[in-house]
Amino acid sequence: MRLSETASRFEVGTPSTVSFIGAAEAVKLLLNFGIENIEKQVLKLTDYLIEKIRLLD
């Protein structure tokens, strides 16, 4: 048996199935909200943040 030269030699066991299920559900949630809607909200919050930062000046 030959050990890996990278840090992967310290990994044991099987991949976490729960992690994959959680990631899949997160993607479904994002797609249900709609990428465009998420983008609009992020841009709205960004504008709000910039406005508040400018008021500190």
Q: What is the pLDDT of residue 13?
A: 80
52 φ, ψ (degrees, to nearest 5): -65, -35
How is residue 34 written in tokens? 């709609």
Give the mean model confidence (pLDDT) for residues 8-19: 84
Q: What is the pLDDT of residue 30?
A: 96
1 pLDDT exceeds 80? no
Q: Mention every residue, 6+ apart, whose C-beta is less than 8 A from residue 9.
A: 3
Give me the residue label for tokens 């508040």.
Answer: 52
